[in-house]
Amino acid sequence: MKIRAFVQGEDEAIWLRMRNESFTEYDDFRPGTMEDIEIWEKSPEFDPVGMYIAEVEGQPVGRVQAHVDRERKEKKGFVQGLCVIPVYRRRGIARALLETALSSLRERGMETAQAWSRDDKPVAKHLLESAGFQVVRVFSTMRRDLSPVVDVEMNREVTFRSMNDSSEDLQLMRELNNEAFKEHFNFRPSTLQEWLHWSQHPDFDREGWFFTFIDAKPVGFVGTWIDRKYVAYREEKLGWIDSIGVLKPYRNKDIGTSLMLRGMEHLRKRGMTEVALGVDDSNPTLAINLYEKVGFKITRKELTYSMVLTG
């Protein structure tokens, strides 16, 4: 077995195939496409340094990405997309890929590494925990059908409008997001370049991103997302509340509830029958309570792991 660096411009199809052959056991799997890879390679955060492919007798069998976020001040690196295709499992290949990823992060001066596993994946959890990772945060995926929400208090003072295609609106969305999330776990301010890239994604739907105002002052936002390839592949009309935020002085006034209903109404208008979202269980603003109030139930847990690389 050999582990080698990913070569941009040559290894994209292998990278994709490793993922598509390895993650089929996930209950929300949809095959990645070359279009997904092309979009990712154009994103400001893309960095081929730290991407590795494992080979046995010259054949690719697995891969991993050790990612350094250039925009982040703290020396925290990320281990992502670790997988081994089924016939080559239980031979120590994932462990070797993980060690390569951790060495790569160390060499680039990272002091901690972060990785993820679903709570219902014992092998992935064992792999991370036996390498020295510990759970630092638990995230929930929540879901509900898109039948109307009844009996909840809404804020009647606020007004809404969708994003238009001006750069001012993109900038405003970025500022509101950065302000609302600044006390959040793993937060770092998003850049305008990232928002520009995001807004050019074929699934980005400006009409599904709303600002909310009190008088003329923007005080919050909600953004929806529909992965059209997922909907087509799984024949599941599932949309997402991608992001929601209310500025601190305006919290606890039912504005979040009004935003959630607005986002769900938009997804219904787009023909979706179900909605999901991801939430940090220890979100300091207790966002999970809001989602439960509007009928969301937890369907899955995802664990965020961390380990110290120095010392």
Ligand X SMILES: CC(C)(COP(=O)(O)OP(=O)(O)OC[C@H]1O[C@@H](n2cnc3c(N)ncnc32)[C@H](O)[C@@H]1OP(=O)(O)O)[C@@H](O)C(=O)NCCC(=O)NCCS
Neighbours of 289 (CB within 10 A): 10
Q: Which pair of tokens denotes residue 105? A: 């992060």
Point out which residues pair with 298 in neighbouring strands: 142
87 contact partners, CB below 8 Å, separation of at least 6: none
Q: Which is nearer to ligand X, 83 or 238 (CB)?
A: 83
From 76-84, 250-258, 264-272, 276-284, span contacting ligand X (CB under 6 A): 76-84
Burial of 20 (0-12, 13-18, 19+ CB in 10 A): middle
> Locate tokens 């909840």: which residue?
152
The verdict on 66 binding ligand X (CB under 6 A) reads: no
The verdict on 95 binding ligand X (CB under 6 A) reads: yes
Applying CB under 6 A, the site for ligand X has a residue count of 20
List binders of ligand X among 20-49 (CB under 6 A): 22-23
One residue of 33, 59, 103, 130 binding ligand X per CB under 6 A: 130
Query: What angle is formed at CA 306 by the lines to CA 41 and CA 176, rounded to 5 degrees?
Result: 60
What's the sign of the alpha-carbon dihedral 278, 240, 222, 190? positive
The verdict on 64 binding ligand X (CB under 6 A) reads: no
The verdict on 159 binding ligand X (CB under 6 A) reads: no
The verdict on 126 binding ligand X (CB under 6 A) reads: yes
The verdict on 132 binding ligand X (CB under 6 A) reads: no
From 33-41, 82-90, 105-113, 292-300, span contacting ligand X (CB under 6 A): 82-90
- Binding residues vs ligand X (CB under 6 A): 22-23, 82-84, 89-95, 115, 117, 121, 123-124, 126-127, 130
